Amino acid sequence: MRPRQSIGEPGWDRAAVTGSLFAAAAYGIWGIAPLYFRWIDDFGALQIVAHRVLWSALLLLPLVLVIGGRARLRAVLGSPRSLGWLALSGVLIGGNWLLFIYAVVSERVLEASLGYFINPLVSVVMGMLFLGERLRPLQGLAVVVAVIGVGNEIVRFGDVPWLGLALAFSFAFYGLIRKRLGVDAFTGLTVETWMLLPLALIWLAWHGAQGGGMFPPGLADNGKLFLAGPITMLPLLCFAAAANRLSLGSLGFFQYLAPSIQFALAVWVFAEPFATTQWWTFGLIWLALLLFSAAAVSSVPNPKFAAL
| The three-state (H, E, C) secondary structure of the chain, written as one string | CCCCCCCCCCCHHHHHHHHHHHHHHHHHHHHHHHHHHHHCHHHCHHHHHHHHHHHHHHHHHHHHHHCCCHHHHHHHHCCHHHHHHHHHHHHHHHHHHHHHHHHHHCCCHHHHHHHHHHHHHHHHHHHHHHHCCCCCHHHHHHHHHHHHHHHHHHHHHCCCCHHHHHHHHHHHHHHHHHHHHCCCHHHHHHHHHHHHHHHHHHHHHHHHHCCCCCCCCCHHHHHHHHCHHHHHHHHHHHHHHHHCCCCHHHHHHHHHHHHHHHHHHHHHHCCCCCCCCHHHHHHHHHHHHHHHHHHHHHCCCCHHHCCC
Whether the predicted pLDDT of 10 surpasses 50 = no
More confident call, 67 vs 156: 67
pLDDT of residue 301: 52
pLDDT at 216: 87
With 80 as the cut, is the pLDDT of residue 12 above it?
no
pLDDT of 88-116, one tens digit each? 999 999 999 999 999 999 999 999 999 99
For helices 109-131 and 137-157, give the axis angle rounded to 10 degrees. Answer: 140
Q: What is the pTM of this model?
A: 0.89
Question: Which whole-number Å values give the CA distances from 157 to 49, 86, 146, 148, 275, in the listed order?
Answer: 29, 36, 17, 14, 11
Q: What is the pLDDT of residue 305?
A: 31
Instruction: Work out the pLDDT band at 29, boundaries 50, 70, 90.
Output: very high
All structural domains of the chain with their residue ranges: 13-299
Confidence (pLDDT) at 264: 95
How do residues 223-232 score in pLDDT, each as one tens digit? 999 999 999 9
**136 φ, ψ (degrees, to nearest 5):** -75, 160
